[in-house]
Amino acid sequence: TGALIRHAVAAGARLGAAPDDDAARLDTYGRALGLAFQIADDLIDATGDAAVAGKATAKDAGRGKRTLVAILGVDAARARLAATVDEAIAALAPFGPAADTLREAARFIAERDA
């Protein structure tokens, strides 16, 4: 999922004929956004309520899947999520208010529970 998100952002930059510097910033944003989505998804699986999430939870642990949550623990994964969202948002600084929707998307990913 993270790679798909990164690709969608990069494709938008290419289709919009973004200058190389802007395309690189958007790639940084897309990479961080994709990683944040995956970390949030892993946290939802590890700590979320299945009724709220709309899907079964605790699947990763049941399968012995090596997620960031399994490796680092919940608190460290949450800290990594916050840092990754900050990285995504920082990449957008040169775009000013024009990138506010992208900033909100990053915040939404970190705050979602489903």
d(CA 33, CA 63): 26
Q: What is the model's pTM?
A: 0.88
Per-residue pLDDT tens for 12-59?
999 999 999 999 999 999 999 999 999 999 999 888 667 665 676 667
Query: Tokens for 45?
Result: 């699986």
Quick one: pLDDT at residue 48?
A: 67
Per-residue pLDDT tens for 55-85?
766 677 777 777 889 999 999 999 999 999 9
Domains of the chain: residue spans and CATH: 2-111 (1.10.600.10)
Q: Where are the alpha helices (DSSP H) in 1-114?
A: 2-15, 20-47, 50-53, 59-63, 68-72, 74-91, 100-111
**Mean pLDDT of the residues in the chain:** 91
Quick one: pLDDT at residue 77?
A: 96
Query: Tokens for 80?
Result: 């990594």
